[in-house]
């Protein structure tokens, strides 16, 4: 699966979890860029992404991400 396709699917998950159809994710997007993305919703987002793609992230992986692009890179490597 291409990174662009993964980003679009993750964007849909963000829109669903945060209940905001206006969210547009870029690889450089961080929690500071998205209204409502706090520590609690971060966990909800991770769980929703794991369920959607049927994978599990380690705590170390999650803590290493600085932006959405790094999340997508990690996801792509797990799906490869």
Question: Could you say which DSSP state residue 36 is in?
Answer: T
Q: pLDDT by residue (tens digit) across 57-66? A: 999 999 999 9
Contact 36, 18 (CB under 8 A): yes
What is the residue whose two structure tokens read 């662009």?
A: 4
Domain ranges of the chain: 3-79
Q: pLDDT by residue (tens digit) across 39-53? A: 999 999 999 999 999
Q: Which fold has domain 3-79?
A: 1.10.1200
Q: Indicate whether this model's pTM tops 0.85.
A: yes
């Amino acid at each position: 699966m291409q990174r662009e396709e993964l980003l679009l699917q993750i964007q849909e998950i963000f829109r669903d979890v945060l209940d905001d159809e206006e969210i547009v994710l870029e690889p450089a997007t961080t929690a500071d860029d998205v209204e409502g993305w706090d520590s609690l919703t971060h966990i909800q987002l991770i769980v929703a992404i794991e369920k959607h793609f049927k994978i599990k992230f380690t705590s170390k992986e999650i803590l290493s991400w600085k932006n959405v692009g790094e999340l997508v890179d990690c996801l792509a490597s797990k799906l490869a």
